[in-house]
Amino acid sequence: MTNGQRELVIRNLHVKVEDREILKGIDLAVQPGKVHAIMGPNGSGKSTLAYTMMGHPGYEVTQGEILVDGVDITEMSPDDRAKEGVFLAFQYPHSIPGVTMANFLRTAVNAVKEKPMSPKDFRQTLREQMKLLKMSDEFAGRFVNEGFSGGEKKRAEILQMAMLQPKYAVLDETDSGLDIDALRIVADGVNAVLGPDLGVLVITHYQRLLNYIKPDYVHVLVHGKMVAEGGPELALELEKRPGKKAIVLLTDGGDNASVLTREAAVRRARATGIPVFAIAEGDALSDAPSERLLHELAESTGGRLYKAKRSKDLLNIFADISSNLRSGYLLAFQPPEDRTPALWHELQVLVKDPGLPVTIRARTGYPAQ
């Protein structure tokens, strides 16, 4: 089969998770030798698409199909999809204590190949690929992701891709959690294995990754639907667009009247399409009516409900919300008045970035209708 006949095709894909539809009719075609990028805010369905393509059992395809070079893989198990040439680099790779990278890779390679590699051929290929990725020989003797830095975990994923030699690779937010130096190293590794026989789907929030891995096509996914498609200039255009407003509600009490007051305020914001990110902590976590109201507020506006069981959870939540800012959100931050100064300072530190194409400011009142 020639490259002209080869293609990864996603057609009218609908996916639900726990009775909630996440993907709502996705159409996409990835050709060998091409790099496609999917961008969009948190909760838009990007990782759902990645996991569905690899056959995660928690994601139910209710309509549509996924084809690899004409072969329908929609109902295949993950290992059979891997044999058909599909690879997924995880956003959060797991560690496997006691299993070395070399043993893990040899088992994985032999599982997808029709004819297992001899130990000699495997060692030679592993050395060649590690040299290509500028990785030291000692890396092969370390336990899988055990004690790895964020950058090392992502490089280990790229080494897997290099060894497995898939037809199509999905990189699920490979840049997540990396500083700029680690990002460059990982991007260099991806570029090193790109070639005319490999089609790549890069999932990311940020334009900065696409400064190093150059896409041929860019797609924008929002609320489970592709809302824009274009060339690499589309990613640059998204960075320059004015930010959308968002509200962050933080409640640490179970006072339904207080929540209802917030609900009335958000109803005004809902009419203008402003997403709400709600954070429940303290007593609000044990008050079912309050939690339900917050969930409904967030879901109905395209936002999200977070749960902070400990104070330190707030920093992780703010970091996640800041990724939405990088996708073009203007944040109106509204915690309880007695918490505002400290929390606002923490959030400003997290999202401080001279290249951030939005303005961040605190607001004391709710948006007018």
Domain ranges for the chain:
8-240, 244-362
Q: Which residues of the chain have pLDDT under 50?
A: 253-257, 259-261, 272, 326-336, 340, 344, 346-369
Q: Are 211 and 184 in contact (CB under 8 A)?
A: no
Q: What is the pLDDT of residue 321?
A: 66
- Residue 145 is given by DSSP the state T
Quick one: which of 226, 217, 178 has its CA closest to 199?
A: 217
Q: Are 66 and 33 in contact (CB under 8 A)?
A: no
Please, what CATH class does the domain formed by 244-362 belong to?
A: alpha beta
Please check whether the two domains, 8-240 and 244-362, share a CATH topology.
Answer: no
Distances (CA, A) of 34 to 13, 86, 160, 199, 263: 21, 15, 20, 5, 46
d(CA 151, CA 135): 12
Q: Are 168 and 198 in contact (CB under 8 A)?
A: yes
**32 Cβ neighbours under 8 A, 6+ residues apart:** 3, 6, 7, 167, 196, 197, 198, 199
Pairing of strands 361-362, 276-281: unpaired
Query: Residue 24: how many CB atoms within 10 A of its CB?
Result: 16
Q: Which CATH architecture has domain 8-240?
A: 3-Layer(aba) Sandwich (3.40)
Q: What is the pLDDT of residue 261?
A: 46
Two tokens, residue 49:
């698409």
Looking only at Cα atoms, what is the longest distance across the chain? 71
189-209 pLDDT, tens digit per residue, is 899 999 999 999 999 877 778
Q: What is the pLDDT of residue 260?
A: 46
Q: What is the pLDDT of residue 97?
A: 94
Q: Is the dihedral of CA 114, 116, 121, 125 positive or negative?
A: positive
d(CA 285, CA 90): 30
Pairing of strands 60-68, 71-72: antiparallel
